[in-house]
Amino acid sequence: MDSPNPPLAALLRYIRGISSPKEKAVVDQWLDGSVENREILDSIDLVYNTRLSRERIGARDSQAALKRVLGRIRANRTKKVLSKVCVAASLVVGLTGSFFWIREYAGNSSEPTVTTLTSAEGIRSRFFLPDGSEVCMNSGSTLSWSSDFGKDRREVSVSGEVFFDVTHDGRKPFVVNTGDGKTRITVLGTEFNLSAYPDDSLVQTTLVSGSIRMDFPDRGFSIQVSPEEKITYDLAAGKITREKTDTYSTMAWTEGKLVFRDTPMPEVFRQLSHFYGVDFGIADPEVLSWSFTGTFRNVSLPQILEYLRISSDLSYRTEGNEEMKIRIIVSKETAERG
């Protein structure tokens, strides 16, 4: 029997991250009950976030400055991308209106041509590979494959965050290599998410359905991954961990959403950085010991920053201009602001 909906006040406390442990457990159990329950919470979260943002938006000079800088960056990048976009139907089918850079390279006429597709900063891009496999690329991600893709095997290289829904073909395994060469994923047909940004020390793979094998050439062993498992390779520490995970939260970015459930702030900043194509600088290390709960659907970065300021007592300022990546400097809110 389905559990009753928690009181609205309890859901609002959960969204704000101030639930008691017992109350949080009740809401977590309710969320696990159905997709509809998650959608209910998302809707409440969006209304709550929008109301607070409207009350505060424009109240700070830094907020207005951020919006102006983002506007200049967006306009400048759009001009650059539009001048370089080239969509060839023989290479990519089902392009869905996002901005790409597409490059082709061949050492000489006897070598296969390598196609490299890059999703612009702040843009998520969805398309299909020549074998029909669906790919969704997060901001600033790159995917490469050669012209012999699909002949004997299907092999691609990834830098950044990419979701794959692989078309099954038992005769031709699908192989994904990360840019650093330290991990390789082999599948026949499955759905999984891979995050391997070159400026991150973490390579993370989350399996949604099917089965994959992760190889670690530099470590000399492999891991068979099961659905709803996340494998994290900490390159700096040389540590590999396996854990059960909430695939809904992991995959939310492919639908233009960000879902945080008592998420440590370093991970919050990491996801925001990749989602919006910005950098974060932490002026007060204490901030990194906090956690955050909230869901955002099609919300601008200024709105999220304002929501973080209100709900988590954070202060922020922006650096950068249209010629460089924007940088958000985060610290604790000071009492003197009033």
Q: Is the model's pLDDT at 200 over the cut of 80?
A: yes
Which is more confident, 325 or 305? Answer: 305
Residues near 305 by beta carbon (within 8 Å), at least 6 away in sequence:
63, 66, 316, 328
Q: Which of 73-77, 126-130, 193-197, 307-311 has the lowest mean pLDDT?
A: 73-77
Position 175 scores a pLDDT of: 95
Is pLDDT above 50 for 110?
A: yes
The answer, yes or no, to whether residue 204 has pLDDT greater than 70, is: yes
Are the beta carbons of 52 and 310 closer than 8 angstroms?
yes
Span 9-56, pLDDT tens digits:
777 778 777 778 888 888 888 888 887 777 777 766 665 665 555 444
- The predicted structure's pLDDT at residue 105: 54
The residue assigned the tokens 């759009």 is 78
Looking at every residue in the chain, the average pLDDT score rounds to 77
Q: Is the pLDDT of residue 106 over 60?
A: no
pLDDT of residue 58: 43
- Judge contact between 250 and 206, C-beta under 8 A: yes
100-114, 162-176, 295-309: least confidently modelled range: 100-114
Q: What is the pLDDT of residue 209?
A: 92
Please state, in angstroms and rounded to a whole number, the distance separating the CA atoms of residues 332 and 290. 11
Write the secondary structure of the chain as one string of H (helix), E (strand) and C (coil).
CCCCCCCHHHHHHHHHCCCCHHHHHHHHHHHCCCHHHHHHHHHHHHHHHHHHHHHHCCCCHHHHHHHHHHHHHHHHHHHHHHHHCCCCCCCCECCCCCCEEEEEECCCCCCCCEEEEEECCCCCEEEECCCCCEEEECCCCEEEEECCCCCCCEEEEEEEEEEEECCCCCCCCEEEEECCCCCEEEECCCEEEEEECCCCCEEEEEEEECCEEEEECCCCEEEEECCCEEEEEECCCCEEEEEECCHHHHHHHHHCEEEEEEEEHHHHHHHHHHHHCCEEEECCHHHHHCEEEEEEECCCHHHHHHHHHHHHCEEEEEECCCCCCCEEEEEECCHHHC
pLDDT score for 228: 93
Q: Residue 129 has which token pair? A: 């590979």
